[in-house]
Structure 1
């Protein structure tokens, strides 16, 4: 039987989130002043739009109202998506970040920022951008080599269709 509140919340909410076609990414119970906030982060392969977040939020609220898992005190429920600079912690996160620029902190203490090209069960094939006019280089990272990974925001990146059109011209 689960002992922590987060484990009980995950057991209660994960099947409901899954039934909505989403993945339960994170649960956090925080104290903000005198009130408590339950933050739930959801996502899917296609991303979660506002309608999907609203639907799952209503379903979670109804489910929580049926139970005492949050105790007797008042709390606020916040449901959202991971955000632009999300941390990658699960295999599915890396798959979803394919073609995105990611900053990796390595287990040996080094760092590398590279674009994820492909993900398999053992690790990642990356493209490390060239510096000062040099060509990009390929690199392979095993999951065991990665201490932390976070998606980077890119403001001036061309989308994949533009890149292909330029190559064909």
Structure 2
């Protein structure tokens, strides 16, 4: 078993998901974890707690010692309010939430878009126009957003996205009802901060 597999297995065995793994300069190994939806934890919370990070850190230190991985410092943290969406499983989990995406190539002159993430429907506008006569896609994703009073849809495939993150929602009573965070954004345009490069999850 390689060290990445050991990390995934150890974290999953404790009831958490690996969001990202980064080997940073000076021997820093940074691992981002998240709680699994629907799972019962000793301390109920929607978000990752300090106690969660401490538990995962202890187990990972042992697992990585067994694997013989050379690192100087291990950092385990929560993904934050602007959690990155790294996999299609993340897209499925957060379908219905407001997200920022950065496309690999511009569409209508820009790469940054914001809206409510959903599974695509055939009427979605493709980020790359389909060839003439091609059948409408039966899979993929779309962002739904308001442009004036009209609802607009941007369709795209997972591999067309360079980065995707949840729109931060500051609400001490928990996450707001799905989709509310995107209602005030004009024409689906994401803030410039959405263009910041994400960490490399390998």
TM-score (norm 2): 0.59
Counterpart for residue 20 of structure 1: 14
Task: Provide the aligned length of Structure 1 versus Structure 2.
Answer: 147
Counterpart for residue 124 of structure 1: 141
Indicate conservation of the 8 Å contact 1:123/1:141, yes or no: yes
Counterpart for residue 37 of structure 1: 28
Indicate conservation of the 8 Å contact 2:98/2:117, yes or no: yes
Gaps of 5+ in 2: 38-45, 122-137, 181-202
Q: Is 1:143–2:188 an aligned residue pair?
A: no
CA-atom RMSD, angstroms?
3.1
TM-score (norm 1): 0.68
Indicate conservation of the 8 Å contact 1:94/1:119, yes or no: no
Task: Pick closer, same or farther for the CA change 1:106–1:77 going to 2, 3 Å.
Answer: closer
Structure 2 Cα separation of the partners of residues 82 and 119 of structure 1: 26
Counterpart for residue 87 of structure 1: 84
Structure 1 Cα separation of the partners of residues 159 and 10 of structure 2: 32
Task: Pick closer, same or farther for the CA change 1:122–1:104 going to 2, 3 Å.
Answer: same
User: What secondary structure does 1:109 align onto?
Assistant: strand
Q: Is 1:52–2:52 an aligned residue pair?
A: yes
1:108-140 deviation digits (Å, cap 9, x = unpaired): 413321111347993224321233xx2433443
Larger Rg: 1
Counterpart for residue 5 of structure 2: 11
Structure 2 Cα separation of the partners of residues 55 and 88 of structure 1: 24
Structure having the higher helix fraction is 1
Structure 2 Cα separation of the partners of residues 53 and 43 of structure 1: 10
TM-aligned CA deviation for residue 87 of structure 1: 2.9
Indicate conservation of the 8 Å contact 2:119/2:139, yes or no: no
Structure 2 Cα separation of the partners of residues 19 and 39 of structure 1: 19
Runs of 4+, deviation exceeding 3 Å = 117-121
Task: Pick closer, same or farther for the CA change 1:108–1:62 going to 2, 3 Å.
Answer: closer
Task: Pick closer, same or farther for the CA change 1:107–1:60 going to 2, 3 Å.
Answer: closer
Q: How does 1:92-107 map to 2 (within 5 A)?
A: 92-107=89-104
Indicate conservation of the 8 Å contact 1:53/1:80, yes or no: yes
Indicate conservation of the 8 Å contact 2:21/2:30, yes or no: yes
